[in-house]
Structure 1
């Protein structure tokens, strides 16, 4: 049995790494195998991926993992208990609520913000950037000037202004962060499009009678995806910090939702004596942000061999 497995594994590897793939499926699987091999060579990137999987696991099974309710506490007997006391692993806050349970449920809000911002901002930036880069001329000028206007404002300041206008709440915070996040993606997509639009590959598609819309959506956008994925992954930490900043200022998720930034805000009054109330959600933000940064660096090296060789 072991001999057969040892024989099959090199055969499969040789099939994936073949210089002459016999089908598109083989070519795609071979490319994915090469990318995965480059990615797994970076141990820090694998650590970042494990942190992300851990976040997904905790968010998915929060109801099972959380030992207590995230919104109901025990004011009489469990207020501001230190970590490890009376069955509270990370201590309790000023309302007698278990901090660990609030962190576990707060991971859902963090993923909610990250996923929605990526789903909204990345496609908008990709669409604006590819249209601008392929069309050129006055269309390029108008779209890039609009992009420059958004880039002229710091992200947090613009998000604060938008949330103040729309009203506090997690949905408005997501919308505000998404509005401030798409311009860098548009810049990257435009730069990538300008390198591809005059290539022989695109010229051949154009000679075959493909419309500009078909060229942009089916041929140019897929070429921009790898750079966009890397940038989105690297921006996840900034999105988490912006959402936490809005929650800290009271403009994000509203009480009693266990949002990590709001938890830090409620614990700042006890930072000297009951440090764990603010430190535990701060540590959660640090770990998750670090995980996304490590994952983004690994994806950049895996998807761009030129970066890996430097």
Structure 2
């Protein structure tokens, strides 16, 4: 009982230290700001639901293949189109492959493609937008006209065109989606940079002799990052749907790869007779896309400057 009281007192002391209005060091101020943001985020049940689903997806992608005994590529024609049962929780497909095993192994591929697209796209869009917004003039004009040209085409149509030109495959799907996904980030980063470039602390940095490159990398880019990260989180749902769409059309991962979009495409011909073949991977895509949207909405509320984020 005494130990419990001591732990409770320690938590109260730590919370008071984090929430103080007069932090004694930059480290304390940063930790306090992070704690306030976490409290605001965790107060939203839907955001926590999205976070829980995504943590479950990461756990499944990390350790799921070690827990699933069936080989996702093994064909057992004698068990083709078996309904969900004790041996195959999600049933089997047209070639007798276990859908649960394919779903678990496919989570790695789907998540890896989406994360790779974001990792490629966000730095490019952030850099182009901040350089255009901070430098202005001819640099801004050239970069933004390139962005306008890219935005003039529907993203999914342009991605399909690039994927068809490059040929089917996971790497080509990543390249096609990356080429079409960067313009919104550039626009957002430019708008943030135009606002930040006129801030008092940027003027103070100039007066202290900071070079344009230092101002751009030390102040502008980090301050624009939060908005871009929130946008990336919200876009993850669209990227996953685009990845699934390319797989559905045969322009993404190729058979026998257990990619979710391809699994849906493979099951559409037997949808009436064996609903589970296409429905279960479709529900997985829906759940993950919804989770990213919920998480993005929560992060947007946390980083909204009107809420002191």
In the superposition, the TM-score normalised over structure 2's length comes to: 0.97
1:183 corresponding residue in structure 2: 183
1:48 corresponding residue in structure 2: 50
2:81 corresponding residue in structure 1: 80
2:257 corresponding residue in structure 1: 257
Q: Give yes or no for the alignment of 1:60 onto 2:65.
A: no
What residue ranges of structure 1 are gaps of 5+ in the alignment? none
Change (3 A) 1:184 1:307: farther
Q: Give yes or no for the alignment of 1:12 onto 2:17.
A: no
How far is 1:307 from its partner?
Answer: 6.5
| Aligned counterparts of 1:307 and 1:55: Cα–Cα separation in 2 | 30
What residue ranges of structure 2 are gaps of 5+ in the alignment? none
| Aligned counterparts of 2:71 and 2:136: Cα–Cα separation in 1 | 55
2:212 corresponding residue in structure 1: 212
* Contact kept in structure 2, 1:301 and 1:308, CA below 8 Å: no
| Aligned counterparts of 1:161 and 1:204: Cα–Cα separation in 2 | 48
| Aligned counterparts of 1:135 and 1:43: Cα–Cα separation in 2 | 42
* Contact kept in structure 1, 2:264 and 2:281, CA below 8 Å: yes
Once the two structures are superposed, the pairs formed by residues 1-310 of structure 1 within 5 Å of their partners are: 1-75=3-77, 77-84=78-85, 87-304=87-304, 306=306
How far is 1:6 from its partner?
Answer: 2.3
Residues 82-114 of structure 1 deviation map (CA, whole Å, 9 limit, x = unaligned): 1126x0100000010000000000100111111
Change (3 A) 1:46 1:225: same
Residues 221-240 of structure 1 deviation map (CA, whole Å, 9 limit, x = unaligned): 11011111110000000000
Task: Name the SS of the counterpart of 1:257 in structure 2.
Answer: coil
